[in-house]
């Protein structure tokens, strides 16, 4: 039986006409490395959904490749103000999900979403589906479309 969180993700995908089966894994998919090992893909194909507090304390989500680190200074330049990683309570409040299972869709309230451009280099990426053991595969261009994510570079440095 699917968890309420995974069901919310499945419902959000279906509402966008996306047939992306949610897979409940026997082991944790909490980290990008764990998720890549569980599904048998490259770490760069894992979507990390990271919540930040942006300018004016606005909650936002960054979809980053599993093998990258979001450079907060680079993100701040894109957003025009200071940013910081959200704490666990702020993450749950902004998305409705706990850290380790934050999905790119199915949030309890709308929030701005930004997608790292390197995710678009893959045919398929894997994202959390609401729990630390559930994931779903999706074409990154479809993910960008359904989340209405702004595509940016977030890796920092030149």
Q: Where does 80-139 have alpha helices with state H?
A: 88-95
The DSSP 8-state label assigned to residue 3 in this structure reads: -
What does each C-alpha distance from 11 to 70, 106, 129, 132 come to in angstroms? 29, 8, 11, 18
- pLDDT-derived band at 39 (thresholds 50, 70, 90) equals very high
pLDDT of residue 55: 85
Domains of the chain with CATH codes: 4-152 (3.90.960.10)
Query: Is the per-residue pLDDT at 152 higher than 60?
Result: yes
Mean pLDDT of 5-11: 95
Q: Tens digits of per-residue pLDDT, 42-95? A: 999 999 999 999 988 899 999 999 999 999 999 999 899 999 999 999 999 999
Query: Is the per-residue pLDDT at 111 higher than 50?
Result: yes
pTM, 2 dp: 0.93
Cβ-contact 110, 125 below 8 angstroms: no
pLDDT of residue 1: 47
- pLDDT-derived band at 158 (thresholds 50, 70, 90) equals very low
Query: Is the per-residue pLDDT at 37 higher than 70?
Result: yes
């Amino acid at each position: 039986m699917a968890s309420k969180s995974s069901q919310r993700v499945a419902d959000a995908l279906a509402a966008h006409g996306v047939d992306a089966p949610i897979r409940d894994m026997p082991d944790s998919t909490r980290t990008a490395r764990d998720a890549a090992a569980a599904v048998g893909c490259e770490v760069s194909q894992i979507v990390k959904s990271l919540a930040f507090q942006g300018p004016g304390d606005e909650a936002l989500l960054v979809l980053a490749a599993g093998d990258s680190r979001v450079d907060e200074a680079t993100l701040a330049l894109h957003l025009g103000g200071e940013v910081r990683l959200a704490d666990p309570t702020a993450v749950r409040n902004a998305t409705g999900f706990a850290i380790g299972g934050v999905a790119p869709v199915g949030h309890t309230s709308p929030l701005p979403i930004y997608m790292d451009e390197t995710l678009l280099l893959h045919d398929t990426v894997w994202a959390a589906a609401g729990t630390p053991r559930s994931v779903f595969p999706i074409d990154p261009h479809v993910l960008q479309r359904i989340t209405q994510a702004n595509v940016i570079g977030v890796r920092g440095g030149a």
